[in-house]
């Protein structure tokens, strides 16, 4: 399918999505890095008076749903290690695997710094729930599982949103683990976003803001995202991390890959697989994969209502442990104790490494998960969906067409379908996991919706 044809289909789909009014200006991974980097600096100006902070809060100990995030000053909250939860501020919380935060500033929109206001309100040393009748955390939709076939521990690091979008919420996967996937009533309709660390990297090591010296944390090769819409469909994405592909680390192929499987069948968009041993760095296998932020490739699978999508992590040499590894002691614990192508050359089948030319973005369709967030116990719902920071904000639209050179900031308009030249037509073969022999009509309809959702993840 040529890009013009796909754009026409997306245009039709966007008419439906535009029934929900929302607009956004999107920023990508580069902005997330810059924003988080700024949040690490809390020193007073040189020569200025030393600030005395009063009424600092500590993460509550009255719930097994809460995860203590280590740090020198954050007192267990999902914040920068050197950041304190001071009186008058909202302090984000980390939930156990499979659950999402249910507390945030009822007035917070996707405008910085309001987008930081997740979690509990610190009232002179006492952490309080903004929605008093609601729990700290609630179960996600349960539609996505992480499956580890590597024989060593694999950590999925979830970003904090609303919050500073650092990937510090730990999920250690020894065998199979249900990941937190938000429904449409989550804050601003946003999605969950994960960084996938190399095998053998526990969350205590990998779910920490890192540096380009090693491919872990925010420099890990792969990212994933997911959300469930009002009709019960889950849009599940895997992608190359543009921060990784844009640095020296990308000169060495990862020894592991990721793919999406649907054990119960019925999914649209399969195969969706990243295997650097066969496709190279920034290559993937997908009938409709495309290029996003920083020219990094991604693919999306639509999981039907009632279905489950697995993000499978595997060794590229085909090896794997005979038995699942034991999770490390640092794994998720309750509150303390302390293939497509974007190049101008024809792709072989569906698996190539795209060109690194600037990715362009078409007019932005609305995303599948678009629905106004419903406040748990009050009518105060987020009304704005301005985007600041990371890449997985699911209810945003933009009417502006943008193109940005990937060598400058590595970002593109978030809600737009991005591609450098053309989209490869879907392959005629059917994955054994798709569970449907005749998918052509239904699959394309589902994939149109999925691509709309996928583009907004950037």
Strand order in the sheet with 120-123: 90-91, 120-123, 126-128
Per-residue exposure over 406-445, b if at least 16 CB sit within 10 Å of its own CB, e if not: beebbbbbbbbbbbbbbbbebbeeebebbbbeebeeebbe
pLDDT at 69: 98
Divide the 458 residues of the chain into consecutive groups of 10 and give the mean pLDDT of each group: 35 31 32 48 41 80 97 97 97 99 96 96 98 98 99 98 97 99 97 98 95 96 98 99 97 98 97 98 96 96 98 94 46 42 39 38 34 36 32 33 32 28 30 33 41 46
The pLDDT of residue 320: 76
Extents of the domains making up the chain: 3-34+136-456
Distance between CA atoms of 360 and 403, rounded to whole angstroms?
Answer: 4
- Tell me phi and psi for residue 176, to 5 degrees: -135, 135
Identify the residue whose tokens are 């029934």.
19
Enumerate residues 6+ apart whose C-beta is below 8 A from 270: 260, 261, 262, 301, 431, 433, 434
- pLDDT value at residue 321: 58
> What pLDDT does residue 178 have?
99
pLDDT (0 to 100) of residue 415: 28
Per-residue confidence (pLDDT) for residue 210, from 0 to 100: 87
What is the Cα–Cα distance from 198 to 153, expressed in whole angstroms? 9
Both tokens of 359, joined, read 């990715």
Beta strands in 37-175 (DSSP E): 66-67, 90-91, 94-95, 99-101, 120-123, 126-128, 137-139, 144-148, 154-159, 167-169, 172-173
């Amino acid at each position: 399918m040529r890009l013009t044809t796909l754009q026409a289909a997306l245009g039709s789909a966007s008419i439906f999505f535009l029934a929900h009014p929302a607009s956004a200006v999107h920023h990508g991974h580069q902005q997330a890095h810059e924003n988080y980097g700024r949040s690490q600096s809390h020193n007073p100006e040189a020569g200025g008076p030393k600030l005395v902070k009063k009424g600092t809060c500590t993460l509550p100990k009255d719930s097994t749903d809460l995860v203590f995030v280590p740090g020198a000053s954050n007192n267990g909250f999902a914040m920068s290690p050197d950041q304190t939860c001071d009186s008058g501020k909202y302090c984000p919380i980390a939930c156990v695997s499979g659950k999402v935060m249910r507390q945030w500033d009822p007035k917070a929109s996707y405008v910085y710094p309001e987008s930081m206001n997740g979690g509990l309100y610190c009232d002179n040393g006492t952490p309080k729930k903004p929605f008093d009748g609601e729990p700290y955390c609630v179960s996600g939709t349960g539609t996505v599982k992480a499956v580890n076939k590597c024989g060593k521990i694999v950590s999925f690091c979830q970003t904090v949103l609303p919050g500073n979008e650092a990937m510090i919420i730990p999920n250690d996967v020894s065998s199979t683990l249900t990941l937190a996937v938000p429904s449409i009533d989550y804050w601003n309709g946003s999605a969950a976003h994960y960084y996938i660390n190399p095998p053998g990297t526990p969350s205590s090591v990998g779910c920490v803001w890192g540096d380009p010296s090693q491919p872990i944390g925010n420099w890990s090769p792969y990212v994933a995202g997911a959300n469930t819409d009002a009709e019960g469909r889950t849009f599940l994405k895997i992608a190359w991390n543009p921060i990784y592909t844009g640095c020296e680390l990308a000169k060495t192929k990862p020894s592991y890959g990721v793919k999406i499987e649907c054990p119960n069948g019925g999914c649209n968009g399969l195969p969706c697989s990243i295997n650097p041993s066969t496709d190279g760095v920034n290559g993937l296998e997908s009938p409709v994969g495309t290029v996003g932020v920083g020219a990094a490739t991604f693919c999306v699978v639509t999981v039907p209502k009632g279905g489950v999508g697995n993000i499978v992590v595997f060794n590229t040499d085909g090896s794997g442990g005979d038995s699942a590894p034991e999770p490390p002691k640092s794994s998720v614990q309750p509150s303390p104790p302390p293939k497509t192508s974007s190049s101008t050359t024809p792709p072989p089948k569906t698996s190539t490494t795209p060109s690194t030319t600037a990715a362009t973005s078409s007019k932005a369709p609305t995303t599948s998960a678009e629905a106004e967030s419903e406040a748990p116990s009050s009518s105060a719902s987020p009304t704005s969906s301005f985007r600041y920071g990371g890449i997985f904000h699911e209810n945003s639209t933009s009417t502006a067409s943008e193109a940005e050179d990937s060598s400058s900031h590595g970002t593109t308009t978030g809600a737009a379908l991005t591609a450098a030249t053309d989209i490869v037509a879907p392959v005629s073969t059917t994955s054994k996991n798709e569970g449907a022999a005749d998918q052509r009509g239904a699959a394309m309809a589902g994939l149109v919706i999925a691509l709309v959702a996928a583009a907004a993840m950037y």
